[in-house]
Amino acid sequence: MSRQRAKDSATSPENASPRGARPSRGTVTLSDVAKLAGVSAMTVSRVLNRPETVAAETVETVRKAIARTGYVPNLLAGGLATTRTKLVAAIVPTISGSIFAACIQSLTDRLEIAGYQMLLGLSGYPAAREEGLINAILSRRPDALFLTGTSHSAQSRRRLRGAKIPIVETWDLSTRPIDMAVGFSHARVGRDTAQFLFDKGYRRFAVIGAEDERAKIRWRSYLATLTELGVTDVASITTPAPTNLWMGRDGLGKLLGEGFTQGAIFCSSDALAHGVLLEAQARGLSVPGDIAVVGFGDLDFAAFTVPALTTVRIDRFAVGRLAAELILARLAGERVAEKTIDVGFQIIEREST
């Protein structure tokens, strides 16, 4: 034993503790279990991590000792030693709006099966806290990362690359991903919606759009497509993100104020669209007679508004699930051929158009 210990420190008085000495913490550790089981700490570690390498009898003894001591492993220490933390971090703007909640749910469910835990970061709208959050999260050395959107600061991108872990960027495919991506084309959503409404015969258009990165891509593409189709003079209202029903009511009020009393309105979210429906009802406008409404998201209530809402459906559970699969495949050492998955979208036609 070459290290100096308190007991063989002859130069200091009996009770003085050596440099670096700390009070005992009183928590049960591997070696406590080992002592009780009459084996080495390493054997206990093996019982926990690769029991098949330990004799059945020994496993039994050790398991009993673990139970008796109430030992709870310390994954900080384990992670430090192995550089594998069994942690996956996810950053989403917000979780209370249910659109990302579904995603996180399926992601977490899948990862939990594989023994991974979820570190959750909420970056807010706009992703103001993202940079700091990425830093804080990388400090915990997660094994993989789930991000929302593909636009990050240069600094963030550098850090993310430097982390050398699987990274899935979701919801968007417009920028070249850092590593992997699961999402769909927001530009195509805008274009297809415009075309859909045009094909249905509408000739007057409006948009109530959130000032969110991805929402912007959608309604700008919608506007651009309408221009291509020869439609000029599209009324547009913007609202901050996250959106809610009241912003929708308010939005329709503003549109009416601008003289938009007839035509089709593309809303950035189902919540906005729902607000528009209610405001229309309150004002005695007929839907889709006077105005037609398209939402985005196909949240649970969309099928049950009155009239039922035409909207764009995204399989948000699939986003989480597929992201989990990509991550797990990579963590299992497999090479992922398709690093970008387009989950697509569907325009669900109901009564509001």
- Exposure letters 156-183 (e unless 16+ CB within 10 A, then b): beeebeebebbbbbbbbbbeebbbbbbb
148 binds a copy of itself, rule: CB under 8 A: no
Cis peptide before 23 (omega within 30 of 0): no
Quote the CA–CA distance of 93 and 170 in Å, as a whole number.
Answer: 12
Told to check if 3 binds a copy of itself by CB under 8 A, we report yes
Q: Which residues contact 278 (CB under 8 A, 6 or more apart)?
A: 245, 248, 249
Residue from 212, 343, 195, 350 nearest 273 by CA = 350
13 belongs to the binding site for a copy of itself (CB under 8 A):
no
Find the part of the chain contacting a copy of itself (CB under 8 A) among 35-43, 105-113, 216-224, 259-267.
Answer: 105-113
Residue 11 is a binding residue for a copy of itself (CB under 8 A): no
Residue numbers 68-127 binding DNA by CB under 7 A: 71, 73-74, 77-78, 80-82
Judged by CB under 8 A, which of 5, 10, 232, 304 binds a copy of itself?
Answer: 304
Residue 73 touches a copy of itself, criterion: CB under 8 A = yes
Tell me what percent of the chain is helix, strand and coil, each rounded to the nearest 5: 45, 15, 40
According to CB under 7 A, which residues from 42 to 71 bind DNA?
42-43, 45-46, 48-49, 53-55, 57-58, 71
Q: Is 232 in the site for a copy of itself (CB under 8 A)?
A: no
Residue 201, contacted partner among DNA, a copy of itself, none, CB below 5-8 A by kind: none
CA dihedral (323, 328, 330, 331) in degrees, to 10, reads: 140
Interface residues with DNA (CB under 7 A) are: 2-6, 16-25, 27, 29-31, 38-43, 45-46, 48-49, 53-55, 57-58, 71, 73-74, 77-78, 80-82
